[in-house]
Chain A
Amino acid sequence: MSKKSRISWLLVAPLLVLVTVGFLLPIGYTMVKAVENPEVTAALPRTAAVLDTWDGEGMPPEAAFDALVEDIRSSRSGLEFGAMTRRLNFELNGSRSVIMKTRRTVDALDAPYSESLPVEIAEWGDPEFWRLIKTNSNPVTASYLLRALDLQVTPGGSIERVPADRAIFLDLFMRTFWISIWVTVICAFLAYPTAYYISTLSDRAASYAMLLVLVPFWTSILVRTTAWFILLQTEGPVNMALVWSSIIDEPIQLIFTRFAVYVAMVHVLLPFQILPLYSVMKRQGPQYLRAAASLGAPPWRQFLSVYLPLTLPGVAAGAAMVFMLSVGFYVTPALVGGLQDQMVSYYIAFFTNQSINFGMVAALSLLLLVFTGAIILIAHRLIPNVGGAIRA
């Protein structure tokens, strides 16, 4: 390696280390979390060891019952025990109460437990419940990823769709996709004539007009969302103006609706579409349009066959940016949308802060990452040089 290359590496190294340790490792850790399955083995180590040798046919051996009773009697760490019950309940609704009931009765039980335990709690006489424990003693699980696609593993080992009342995630991904598509389309539709108009202005007028784009662009997303949050309240300025101008008779529900999500997201993301479009349009000289006109093309033809193809890269660059950002949007829909208007990001936050389930956090994050990655790859295939990568 030449001396220059060595110095280059030395200068890049500190940042590379920070990005690796603070960003790439956490992303990798999340991917591991999406398939990791330590809870049952941690709380019921002996049972897990015995069940490991069980073939899953019929009832498990007497040793499994002994191990289970021993594990539950000696379960000291409430944290591990709680994590295990939550883990099993995620797989099979109601398992939590079975385990809790077992913990309450286990001290009074007499051997042989394979007879006394099922008498007290019927589930322990059911091979399927034992298979549930065995399956989840496995250090790796696909449950979270499957669940994030509304699928689950049956105790028999096959994959099936979850019952309709719990199937929310496919809808969620579709909704995220469609909201993002619509926001992208609306932004492109609003930005194109606007950027065109600004590009026809004199330099001085254009810089003032661009200020109207740049000021919102520089204002934080939260502040802009807050503005809409206040304006769209039922007693808020927008409703007041509509009533005052007799368009409506009494205030209507605007906040916490899909409409509010579209308005606020388009407002936040519009500059990302106007800016690249403007810079492309600014570079277009009038000569091509003149050439088209001199060849007898009517204005609509000049636009469709000459101007539009020339400015399309600007549309593509902006649209890719808008779409990529809206797919991962959290703050705006969370504040101005209702429960029916939330996107994948909302559930990532929900499983982190409210229903603590890090496996689902990781699985949804991983799928969203794959989803975004696929979009970037497609965008790159269609239009090279799209997306915000560093080039040197």
Chain B
Amino acid sequence: MTRIATKVFAWIVLAFLVAPLLAIFPLSFSSGTILTLPVPGYSLQWYEEFFLNDRWLDATRNSFIVGTATMVLATLLGTTAAYGLNMSNFRGKQIVLVLLSMPMVVPLIVTAASMFLAFSAVGLANTLWGLVIAHTIIATPYVVITVLASLQTFDPNLMRGALSLGAPPVTAFREVVLPMILPGVAAGAIFAFATSFDELVIAIFITGPGEFTLPRQMFAGLREFLSPTIAAAAVIMILLSFVLLFVSEAVRRRGEKLVARRANQ
């Protein structure tokens, strides 16, 4: 009895989690102009609206620019920092760890407001660079975490071996360490891109209409006029999250295989 009740309860909760996302799909293909179910008929008009409208296109382009720049910066900075943190127990390491964790702990709204106040004082507000810097700061801690996790399974003797055979440190890192920790690095990079691509609160504070990202444009659209184009934009963002989720799962599987193969050797 309890078992059946738990089962039913669990499926209701799981349905609650996915149903709203699924409901968006038919709405975005509606041939009507009001967002209601069941839809009167199906058409691609709202996608057409999305792909022919400069505001949506510019926003999408900005999102990809900021997301890619954030991904590159966060991955570079996060991977080097994680490698440094993993290498030795240097003095001040605990403080450094606390400082690097801060952007994950401070409420996003406080981060956003502070960055707005400070960035406007130095002319970084309303620029894509300002947004890239902000997104890099909130995304990098996650890169550090994933890379640190994969470094913990890495045998430092391999690096020592490469160095003792005369490989320059950078080459040794690229040829020996990087292939082993690549799944961690890739997972971090994907997460950094997704963080930036989905981020809205900071974008609300430090971007003007010229720098609107896709979420920022959606937020503006929701506040002005609720058109089904927003449902189409939402579906596009859901599909993108799907792609990222599958890529990161594939990367994780590959990483597990790598670790398993090493354990067998």
Contact = CB atoms under 8 A, between A and B. Distances in A.
Interface in B203-257: 204-205, 215, 218-219, 222-223, 226, 230-231, 234, 237-238, 241-242, 244-245
Given A194-B10, A229-B222, A230-B226, A18 B133 contact: yes
Most chain A CB neighbours (cut-off 10 Å) among B133, B137, B141: B137
A33 B117 contact: yes
A213 B17 contact: yes
B130 to A, nearest CB: 9
Interface stretch (A57-65, A308-316, A345-353): A345-353
Nearest to B115: A26
B52 interface: no
A60 to B, nearest CB: 34
Most chain A CB neighbours (cut-off 10 Å) among B87, B99, B114: B114
A392 B148 contact: yes
Interface stretch (B30-38, B43-51, B174-182): B30-38
Nearest to A225: B222
A235 B105 contact: no
Interface residues of A, number: 88
How extensive is the interface on chain B, given as a class?
35 or more
Most chain B CB neighbours (cut-off 10 Å) among A14, A223, A236, A271: A223
Interface in B72-92: 77-78, 80-88, 90-91
B201 interface: yes
A12 B6 contact: no
B120 to A, nearest CB: 9
A47 B37 CA distance: 67
B48 to A, nearest CB: 19
Interface in B11-28: 13-14, 16-18, 20-21, 23-24, 27
14 contacts: A12-B96, A19-B100, A30-B114, A194-B14, A218-B242, A218-B244, A221-B198, A222-B198, A223-B237, A226-B230, A230-B226, A324-B105, A327-B107, A361-B117
A368 B109 CA distance: 9
A236 B13 contact: no
B107 A392 contact: no
Contacts of B201: 330-331
A215 interface: yes
Contacts of B118: 25-26, 29-30
B187 interface: no
B222 to A, nearest CB: 6
Given A7-B87, A215-B241, 14 more contacts: A22-B133, A26-B117, A29-B117, A190-B13, A193-B6, A193-B10, A215-B242, A216-B17, A223-B198, A227-B20, A227-B23, A230-B23, A361-B117, A390-B97
